Amino acid sequence: MSDVIEFSSGDFVHLGLGATVVPLPRHTGDSSWYEQYGSDHGGDGNEGRLVSLHTFTSSWDTWEMHPEGSELVLCVAGRVSLVQEAPDGSVSDVTISAGQAVINDPGVWHTADVPDLDDPPTVLFITAGAGTQVRDR
C-alpha cells in the first residue's frame, strides 16, 4: 500500500527506469532545482520523465524546447493557448480547454498564454526533460 501524496501546482514527480515513480522536493523556481533533479535522475537518460502540475496566473515570459523527447501538455482546468515554433520556423497557436492535450515534439520551441486571467488554467506536463533549453520571449 502506498501513502497518499499531495500533488498541487508546483509539485513534481519523476517517472524513471523500471516503471518507478519518485516524488520530488517542492519546486523552488530557480535553476538549482533543475540542476539537482538532473544530478539525481540524469542516469535514466531519455527514458526518464518529469511530471509536473502548474496553475498559471500569467502568460510565460520564456520559450522552452526539449530536444530529446516529446512532451504531453494536458489542460485539467481553464484554458491555455500554446504557441509552438517548429525547427523550420513555422509557428502555430492552439488553445486547449480542460480535458484536451497537445504534444510538443522534440525540437519544437513552445510558450504559453493565459487567455482568461479570471479563470487561470491548470496544466499537467509529462516531459522528456534531458537537454531542455530556455530562451527569453
What is the tens place of the pLDDT at every residue in 70-116? 999 999 999 999 999 999 999 999 999 999 999 999 999 999 999 99
* Confidence label for 136 from pLDDT (cuts 50, 70 and 90): very high
* Confidence label for 51 from pLDDT (cuts 50, 70 and 90): very high
- Domain annotation for the chain: domains and CATH numbers: 12-136 (2.60.120.10)
Between CA 61 and CA 112 the distance in angstroms is 9
In this prediction the pTM is: 0.91
120, 55 Cβ separation under 8 angstroms:
yes
Which residues make Cβ contacts (< 8 Å) with residue 5, sequence separation at least 6?
13, 23
